[in-house]
Structure 1
């Protein structure tokens, strides 16, 4: 029976080029089984260098730096508007190990905005948050919430300066009631002032000052009080 010799199957040239493109840093487009698309540089079959990823399910786009398959370096993340379909920027800044890390700006769907430092995807370090109601917090952050020293300016220009913990006023601080022309200086615990002093502050320029000014506390006869204290001290020495 004659032996049938089949021709040796040779991989097409495109297959060899595809492997080189993924391993040697050349720009190449790859489509995942779920429809996701990546166009950019590669290293050892991993996204590495400059590239753009498009997620089919959400339509989101990331364009920027990659390192061994993860977002790492500087890049921007955007999503399409559900109505207009136009892309809206969500985050622009630095990444590390696929999470926000370093300095960056995040735009929230509600219209709020945070600009500052990040760590492991959370607001950490120094940053500035603009809230929907018009208030602005600028200061230290820890694990995604105000923590440390910071200042909160309300939409009516009243402001708090002092300590924060877990997103609440905590520790020594000062609250300026500029609309009333008063200042509260004291100690806060979990957003509640526990003790302190209230004084008039800019009362003459305040738009809605309190009806009665806070009276000054003065000694009726300071010389007599001093003399009495001196006498008590002298007695204690005898």
Structure 2
């Protein structure tokens, strides 16, 4: 055992032939480094610990004066720690880095950088496993995000680029091309609602992006009450092109009367007030209240099971004759049947005229039913949802049942027994002196409107 001291440095430990050899402690002249461990022929060699004055240190293997082999390194300022292989003082080989703020990396290293295959866990819960190059994600890899979305595919310069599949936590799947971390190129999205889009994508958006649901035909359609009719719709872009890349969007159709508040001084005010439903807002500056709209085939099936009761009493309530209903009174509403709340969309664009379809035969025609029979009959079944195919859908054999006294709250007009119709409200007609007359008539026209959600 020997002690050698020179100006600016100090070594206490074993020596051989006047050189550090064996175990010893060496303090460097800059006072920042201190080495404690094994020596061989004047060089750090074997197991040792290199301490720094800021609290950082390395403990592990040394070969010929260099940090090399397996060791443990801690950085005081960042609180990062590394356990693994070293070469020439650098992180090199397989190792585990635990980051002070949270997260870790386990995998291959080259020259202090992540290189090769590895697993990166971030502090927010994001998990990546795959290829690294020059410290960043590059090559093939999979990443699971904090919301449980999962991407499997290509990475270039730390971004999703190339071919890959994204499976979202809500069930939505995108499989296709990526560029700059976004959908770009040919790809297929299967939305959680069942809607499918297969085609080109540009910066996360379909090249053919749906902008409106267009009802083909005139905006105001003349219809005979009690006669089936058909509505055809197309999903179009803002430029008017049919979105033929889209499949399986579900559409729902409904109808309603324009809602008017009753005047307190009018007859039947109390009855109307009791029966009134909550109005439904529209994007056209007025509210509506629901009116039954049904599929004619479904209605035939329902009516075939219903046994009418003969009407023996005269109609005491006012009979509503809808012969003069106008486009301001009746609305048909289209909306997408998807999850979440529907956004209000643009007004329907007109196209070619839609010819009314031929009325189907039924055991008891709804237009022949009296007010009492209608009021006692079951509600008509709603229209089944339609599925869009290549950007198009068709509602066949729609049917608007006749108005009965039960639907007085939907009419909201000023009626007065023995008086002619009011010029101020709805252009409605009543006939209280014709007792026993059935509440039938026809819709001369109605306005079509659309609610959209994308």
Give TM class, smaller chain. Answer: 0.7 to 0.9
Tell me which residue corresponds to 1:156. 170
Deviation (angstroms), 1:77: 1.0
| Residue of 380, 386, 406 corresponding to 1:212 | 386
How many residues end up aligned between the 2 structures? 201
Q: For the Cα contact (< 8 Å) 1:25–1:48, is it kept in 2? A: no
| Residue of 88, 91, 106 corresponding to 2:105 | 91
Mapped partners of 2:205, 2:131: distance in 1: 28
Deviation (angstroms), 1:165: 0.8
Report the 3-state secondary structure (helix = DSSP H, G, I; strand = E; otherwise coil) of the residue aligned with 2:14: helix
Higher relative contact order (CA 8 A, sep 6+): 2
Q: For the Cα contact (< 8 Å) 2:45–2:65, is it kept in 1? A: no
Query: When the two structures are superposed, what TM-score results if normalisation uses the length of structure 2?
Result: 0.40
Mapped partners of 1:137, 1:20: distance in 2: 52
Q: Taking structure 1 as reference, are residues 146 and 216 closer, same or farther at Cα in structure 2, changes over 3 Å only?
A: closer
Tell me which residue corresponds to 1:61. 81
Q: For the Cα contact (< 8 Å) 2:151–2:164, is it kept in 1? A: yes
Deviation (angstroms), 1:78: 1.5
Q: For the Cα contact (< 8 Å) 2:103–2:123, is it kept in 1? A: no
Report which of the two has the higher share of strand.
Answer: 1
| Residue of 31, 38, 61 corresponding to 2:58 | 38
Tell me which residue corresponds to 2:247. 199
Deviation (angstroms), 1:12: 5.1
Q: For the Cα contact (< 8 Å) 2:39–2:46, is it kept in 1? A: no
Mapped partners of 1:133, 1:99: distance in 2: 28
Query: When the two structures are superposed, what TM-score results if normalisation uses the length of structure 1?
Result: 0.74
Report which of the two has the higher share of helix.
Answer: 1
* Unpaired segments ≥5 residues, structure 2: 22-37, 209-243, 250-336, 340-383, 392-454
Report the 3-state secondary structure (helix = DSSP H, G, I; strand = E; otherwise coil) of the residue aligned with 1:77: strand
Deviation (angstroms), 1:191: 1.4
Q: What CA RMSD, in Å, does the superposition of the two structures yield over aligned residues?
A: 3.1
String of CA shifts for 1:155-209, please: whole Å, max 9, x gaps. 11111000011111111100011x32221001112212113611239xxxxx959
Query: Which aligned segments of 4 or more residues in structure 1 are displaced greater than 3 angstroms?
Result: 8-15, 21-25, 207-211
How do 1:89-128 and structure 2 match up within 5 A? Answer: 90-128=104-142
Q: For the Cα contact (< 8 Å) 1:22–1:41, is it kept in 2? A: no
Q: For the Cα contact (< 8 Å) 1:22–1:42, is it kept in 2? A: no
* Unpaired segments ≥5 residues, structure 1: 1-7, 82-87, 202-206, 218-238
